[in-house]
Amino acid sequence: MDIKRRLSRCLLVALVLGAPAVAHAHGMVGKRFFPATLATDDPFVADELSLPTVSTLKQRANGDEPATRETEISAELSKRITPDLGVSIAGSFLVLSPEGEKSVTGFDNLELGLKYVFFTSPANETILSIGLDASVGGTGSSRVGAESFSTIAPGLFFGQGFGFLPDSADWLKPLAVTGQFGVAVPVQQVTTTTTVNDAGEPEVDKERNANTAVWGFSVQYNLQYLQSYVRDVGLPQPFSRMIPLVEFAMQTPINGADSGRTTGTINPGVIWFGRFVQVGMEAVVPVNSRSGKGAGFLGQLHFYLDDIAPAIFTWTPFHGVLGPTQPR
């Protein structure tokens, strides 16, 4: 694990120091606007707030554990340190409702993030970034499953618009994809639990904490891009500010008993965006029986703080006030 940690640090430093970066607006590369996605992480850094993000999905019964509806209410605050480097902090409140039993509530572990945009191409509508996320063990409640150990996850993020396509494929120009790939590495490889049985004797249980590939992508169709840069089809508000999309949020254990057994969801939905805020709603469809039972829901209210009050929210100790990131 020490080798993996050193490699991720070296990669981050090398890209920060050696790669050329092009300044970009919030969620924009050239003419392309990318919204903040709900189930997967987008490749941008910005001054923004997601409050609240609400999701609910029912998990199937497993052994002695009954089927349980999991509801999560979360918030995330992101802040730019430089035009291309940002940090974030996020927290979640969980409600677990087992069938026929009393609900259990509590906070999940605190989440911290660091992200750096190392490449943009406005002409090709391309953006690449790297990041490092950390789940801080012991900051949440064990009764809702918050782990006692921390997890660190280096990752790569991308965004790609298709506005460069020829006019013969103009209906495909509003398409865009974003995606992420990372590996979540627990800092504690084995969790040891000691209990006392009915005879008063101690019993020791050891559970291996697997490394997990965290990956996913979104496919988006920007109706504003269609009307502004391809063909005005006469869509009225609010439809002209909508982005229909499908997100694929997956995770695959790399080692351990469940190695190679992918779980995740497919999330069709729509995002409406304005100048200062966006609203997103998605259905949550499990990809297999291990991922959930039936369809769930995911919704988010997202604020563009860097455009709401740029003099306040875009100040940095290194660059002063970065200013609004969308043209006024």
Q: Which domain holds residue 176?
A: 2-192+216-319
Domain membership flag for residue 66: yes
Q: What is the CATH number of the domain that holds 151?
A: 2.40.160.40
CB 137 within 8 Å of CB 187: yes
Region 82-109 average pLDDT: 96
Domain membership flag for residue 40: yes
Strand ranges (DSSP E) for the chain? 28-29, 32-33, 48-59, 68-82, 85-98, 104-107, 110-121, 126-136, 151-161, 175-186, 190-196, 202-208, 212-221, 242-253, 263-273, 277-286, 293-303, 315-316, 320-321
Domain membership flag for residue 205: no
Which range among 19-33, 74-88, 259-273, 312-326 shows the weakest confidence by mean pLDDT?
19-33
3-state secondary structure (DSSP) of residue 226: helix
CB 282 within 8 Å of CB 43: no
Number of domains in the chain: 1
Residue 257 burial (C-beta neighbours within 10 Å; 0-12, 13-18, 19+): exposed
pLDDT at 326: 58
pTM, entire model: 0.87
Domain membership flag for residue 143: yes
pLDDT at 318: 83
131 is written with which tokens? 């990041």
CB 91 within 8 Å of CB 107: yes
Domain membership flag for residue 326: no
Domain membership flag for residue 210: no
Domain membership flag for residue 159: yes
pLDDT tens digits for 139-177?
Answer: 999 999 999 999 999 999 999 999 999 999 999 999 999
pLDDT tens digits for 101-145?
Answer: 999 999 999 999 999 999 999 999 999 999 999 999 999 999 999
Residue 248 burial (C-beta neighbours within 10 Å; 0-12, 13-18, 19+): middle
Domain membership flag for residue 285: yes
CB 302 within 8 Å of CB 36: yes
Given a cut of 80, whether residue 262 has pLDDT beyond it is: yes
pLDDT band of residue 196 (cuts 50, 70, 90) is: low
Residue 169: CB partners within 8 Å, gap ≥ 6? none
pLDDT band of residue 327 (cuts 50, 70, 90) is: low
